[in-house]
Amino acid sequence: MRRVYIIVRNVVTSTTLLAAVVLLQAVVVLSAFPATFTLEKAFPVNSRIELSELRKRDSLRHGRMMLQKDTSPRGIIEFAAEGSYDAHVVGLYFTKVKLGSPPKDYYVQIDTGSDVLWVGCKPCIDCPTSSKFNIPITLYDPSSSSTSSPISCSDQICSQAGQTYNSSSCSHNQCTYTIHYGDGSATLGHYVSDLIHLKTLLTDTKSSNVSASVVFGCSTMETGILATSDGAVDGVLGLGRQGLSVISQLSSQGIAPNSFAHCLADGGGILVIGQPTVPNIIFTPLVKSQGYYSTHLHSISINGKRLSIDPSVFAINNDKAGTIIDSGTTLAYLTEEAYTPFVDAITKSVLLSVQQRTSNGNPCYSITSSVSNIFPIVSLNFFGGASMHLRPQDYLSLQSSKRSPEKGITILGDLVLKNKFIVYDLDAQRIGWADYDCFSIVEVSSNSSSSSGEVVNPSHISSGKSLWIRSHQQIPVIVIASIAQLTMMFLGFQAIDMSL
């Protein structure tokens, strides 16, 4: 097994990107049938050929055969992530991609809750010109890229986009789209095809640059927070399950594995196309009928005791979407029917150790001791015996706000997902997680387990071509909020006010 050691520095200061992709070039010849081919001998009939020459020729042929046998066309690609789960600081995670010819850098939000990669384009209405994240805002100009081409309305990818987003349409023979996000923001534009440039590692010492043609959105109008400098990035990297996702496009071209993972922490982390082999990882099946990364959440436990919540509130049907894993959501939300008993149980467990009050309509608590000494462990129990255990720091938020209840949906955002490797194994249709220091070394494989939907140990994961990623800084953990989220406000070493 090939291993590569890579240093990923603190992304807040400097970053060394890594990636590893092995490509096999292929030529496809199309012809009508029946066809006639002329066969000719490689050597003249009446001439003598030295045995060494024949061996040389066979050796070259065998070398090509072994190359095809031993070299995997699917490599490992890694992106450095920047950002934070803390909405007071950033409230999102983003990475950098290179698009066009000549290639230019674009900073895009990492979003597993949508499918389309898009960037702001020239000309653009209400697109931000600056960002509070201290990153340059760059508009993509199709006319300045020699490899850019618009997607026409007759293109098959346009009809595929229409199935993903019902608002896709046609204008001046260009395939257009409108994408609405849960926070009320939206982007409008048209699809283009251009090159994405990926840095790859071929061996321990050799690296290579690989380019692939992908379809992405060219945004000509943005609304909501997308149009403000507060949340300004160049676009969104949609990593959803549909065919327009960059993951699907690269996998279908044989460039990258059909799996990816992220480990997000306060200050950054990594996004990798491939499957990490980390200790104590557990998997649960994805719901195949859903377009999102939906899972079967069965119950919630507090300090090992299961709450009296009807499992049907987490069901997936016409009215309910189940439990969605979404890196594009900052907080986390429980369906209303589960949130009330959850809050009641938390309140009951800490009542003797806190002073209770109300803040912004939410139950709030003042404490003088460590959060971990007072608040309980929460477990989210999924199908197949997979449980996600949350420490108090993982379900208590650093902010207080009142939110309107939503029915029939549970969303696990960055506050719950951070400081964990979240693995999206699309070949096996499952999702896994494990607590992890996002700035430590990790082995990533281009292969995934062939089994589906059961809790597995990393020793059961097959290892193909792999690389190791190492970093130099540690970072914190996560939070579950809810429709009206849990909240923490630290006042130095004074009492801590907490609200539910």
Sheet holding 496-499, edge to edge: 355-359, 362-367, 496-499, 487-489
Contacts of 260 (CB under 8 A, 6+ apart): 239, 247, 271, 272, 273, 274, 423, 424
Q: How confident is the model at residue 117 (pLDDT cuts 50, 70, 90)?
A: very high
Q: Single out the catalytic residue among 234, 326, 394, 497.
A: 326
Pairwise pLDDT comparison (18 vs 206), residue with the higher score: 206
Over 60: is that where the pLDDT of 449 sits? no
Note the pLDDT of residue 368: 78
The mean-pLDDT minimum among 5-9, 440-444, 469-473, 486-490 falls in 486-490
Over 90: is that where the pLDDT of 492 sits? no
The mean pLDDT of 249-276, rounded to a whole number, is 91
Is 111 one of the annotated active-site residues of the chain?
A: yes
Q: Single out the catalytic residue among 86, 111, 115, 425.
A: 111
Note the pLDDT of residue 281: 94
Over 90: is that where the pLDDT of 479 sits? no
Is 326 one of the annotated active-site residues of the chain?
A: yes
The mean-pLDDT minimum among 194-203, 282-291, 316-325, 474-483 falls in 474-483
For residue 203, give both structure tokens: 């061996």
The mean pLDDT of 96-103, rounded to a whole number, is 97
Specify the length of the chain in residues. 500
Q: Are strands 5-8 and 466-471 parallel, antiparallel or unpaired?
A: parallel
**What is the C-alpha separation between 269 and 80, in angstroms, rounded?**
6
Note the pLDDT of residue 122: 94
Residue 87, H or E segment:
none
Q: How confident is the model at residue 30 (pLDDT cuts 50, 70, 90)?
A: very low
First-to-last CA distance in the chain?
49
The mean pLDDT of 233-240, rounded to a whole number, is 94
132-161 pLDDT, tens digit per residue, is 888 999 999 999 999 999 999 999 888 877
Contacts of 111 (CB under 8 A, 6+ apart): 236, 237, 238, 239, 326, 327, 328
For residue 3, give both structure tokens: 């291993």
The mean pLDDT of 413-424, rounded to a whole number, is 93
